Chain A
């Protein structure tokens, strides 16, 4: 008795499958639809609620400042929303977990439909009850033919056939493109790859911005990294139209990996340079940079060697000075070296005359520019000048014309040894037409450096190596891109097979009175067309109900 009682209990225990409820949930189409809908809702939240800008992500101070800025809109909900990740929906762990769960959901859901489909494709049901020939959704009746004739016609129509005889009738099962029923799995795998690609991109995607000058190198990763790459800008080129509109920006790059040169090429705005899965996009071009090196005269050692952008501007007047006869003595931009409370200007040595005048810019109450001039050796009557832009005036017998105000590229605080923290560097047109660099420090004479001309001032030798353009390069790596491309190809292939290469199964009964054909209402129009084709191939009349509509 005991054994009789225990056996079913043991059997019941062994049949307990703790994974089954999970499986039921994962394989439920309703659950999948509900879950995808929920994810879409989360996605909508990520679109509708302002999200922390990408550049601020990872910087807690910047992020906190940004979140504080949202209090006006969300009030007391701001902090709870931040802690729930609603300001970083697409980066929130719960969102990534949900995406991962969707991958598992679709995977289990798809694979658990494999066996029935596989059997249906490779071990199809070849026999149907006779009533099917009378009531099938798709059916046709043709004149009687011999089985070999029918089989030959079907084979020409790329059907595979199985023939059996029973109860005085011949039964033929014909199947065409059975494998196409597996295409649905290709489409489902594509969906899995799509989601996986998104996850991989989110988890491992990389993006960094580099802004570096011609001839200099910048790392892609911060400090040391096993995948470290260094980008050297060999040449940054900007082409502009006559009106100043940009035509083309391109940068010649050399890539180093772990100290070895691994690639070299050109990146443009529309055609990024690619290496090792990284794409180097040209995103910016800045022409006004300068390379300055400074050596200690005593040792000969370099103590400063920088290529820096001059991202600020200084207002400077372009003037023309003529003598009493009208001969032009000077036509140039005057870079300011003296920054006084009333005006900013510089002493100007006038060629061929040996004279020196101070010329500078000031503004009026209505914020318009005025040129002021002063001749240190002039008299009170004509030794001073104050004229508006575009006007001319006399200064100690000279005619000074204030052509216009120009902007000189400049930078403050280069950290040059021995200079004050507010030292100003200005890139100015040199006397020979080439650029020159002017270093202006408080209470020190300005240093004007012509290109490639070492100049010793005090304990240092300054060399302006030349103007250097800067390139802005965005380095990106999207590890999920492969997944997306493969998934796209699979999805298109799967859909094309499903819609354009449909499976067709025919069950046929041959008797002396005629040929009865039945088919399922599969997603494949064209049953009548197939029947007409079959009738023609067997040289039997096409019944009126199968006649093509005209």
Chain B
């Protein structure tokens, strides 16, 4: 089928003076779908190029959220940061270039704290976490402070100033933070998770901790009881 409008022809010559004023039906695919696809491709291409500006700095290989080792999940359900579920595993680097794997701490109660040096409440609660570690270290308490996407030098300086002796891990892309559900209007930073020796999340706190809330939540993982 080839339907066209009345031709805007010159009356005598029969020549089209303004052919661009005439529309021509060439089937649904060529008349509707194809133009939309072409323009969508152009617009999408420009958008993609624009979004790629500045490049990306991804995490090194093997860094980020990883699968729990076989047999490490006794809950029978997929890892999650919900209370009663196995905490997701991750491998991250320390400011000194070492590596921390969360599941390597299995067998000990672990307090995971997500923070950043630019975060005022994180700075305010850090001395309390340092004190709690000094107090309960002998009970086997492990603390991992996961810094979100900061520079190693900044983190190292912060740790030295605040007397942090427990491992600090840097989440370079925020991927681990996302898998631990950091983000959104409520679950910002600081956020803290209390994981028992079996790797199961027993408590979590969104927002700054105090000496009392730390003590209360450590009890859920058998520390300070």
Interface on A for B, CB 8 Å cutoff? 15, 17-20, 22-23, 26-27, 103-104, 107-113, 115-117, 119-120, 124-125, 128-129, 131-132, 135-136, 181, 184-185, 189, 192-193, 196, 200, 204, 216-219, 222-226, 228, 230, 256-262, 275-278, 293, 296, 299-306, 415, 417, 479, 482-483, 486, 505, 507, 518, 520-522
Q: Is the CB of B182 within 8 A of A256?
A: no
How many residues of chain B are within 8 Å of chain A by beta carbon?
A: 72
Residue of B nearest to A479 (CB): B50
Given contacts A136-B13, A301-B130, A521-B17, contact A278 B54 (CB under 8 A): yes
**Residues of the B chain whose Cβ atoms lie less than 8 Å from the Cβ of A305:** 123, 161-162
Residue of A nearest to B28 (CB): A19
Query: In the docked arrangement, what's the CA distance between A486 and B49, Å?
Result: 13
- Apart from A113-B21, A216-B118, A224-B174, list 5 A-B contacts with CB within 8 A: A19-B31, A223-B183, A258-B58, A304-B123, A486-B46
Task: State the total of A-B contacts with C-beta under 8 angstroms.
Answer: 214
Interface on B for A, CB 8 Å cutoff? 1, 3-4, 10, 12-17, 19-28, 31-32, 34-36, 38-39, 42-43, 46-47, 49-51, 53-59, 116-118, 120, 123-124, 127, 130, 148-152, 154, 161-163, 170-175, 177-178, 182-184, 187-189
Which among A129, A258, A507 has the highest number of chain B CB atoms within 10 Å?
Answer: A258
Q: Is the CB of A507 within 8 A of B13?
A: yes
What are some 19 contacts across the A-B interface (CB < 8 A)? Answer: A19-B32, A23-B28, A26-B32, A112-B23, A112-B26, A112-B31, A136-B12, A181-B20, A222-B183, A224-B171, A224-B178, A259-B149, A259-B150, A259-B152, A296-B127, A300-B163, A301-B163, A479-B47, A482-B46
**Residues of the B chain whose Cβ atoms lie less than 8 Å from the Cβ of A109:** 23
Q: Is the CB of B32 within 8 A of A184?
A: no
Query: In the docked arrangement, what's the CA distance between A112 and B39, Å?
Result: 13
Q: Is the CB of B38 within 8 A of A111?
A: yes
Q: Is the CB of A111 within 8 A of B13?
A: no
Query: In the docked arrangement, what's the CA distance between A181 and B154, Å?
Result: 61
**Residues of the A chain whose Cβ atoms lie less than 8 Å from the Cβ of B148:** 223-224, 228
**Residues of the B chain whose Cβ atoms lie less than 8 Å from the Cβ of A415:** 124
Residue of B nearest to A26 (CB): B32
Q: Is the CB of A520 within 8 A of B188?
A: no
Q: Is the CB of B152 within 8 A of A23?
A: no
Q: Is the CB of A520 within 8 A of B15?
A: yes
Q: Is the CB of A120 within 8 A of B25?
A: no
Q: Is the CB of B22 within 8 A of A276?
A: no
**Residues of the A chain whose Cβ atoms lie less than 8 Å from the Cβ of B189:** 223
Residue of B nearest to A110 (CB): B35
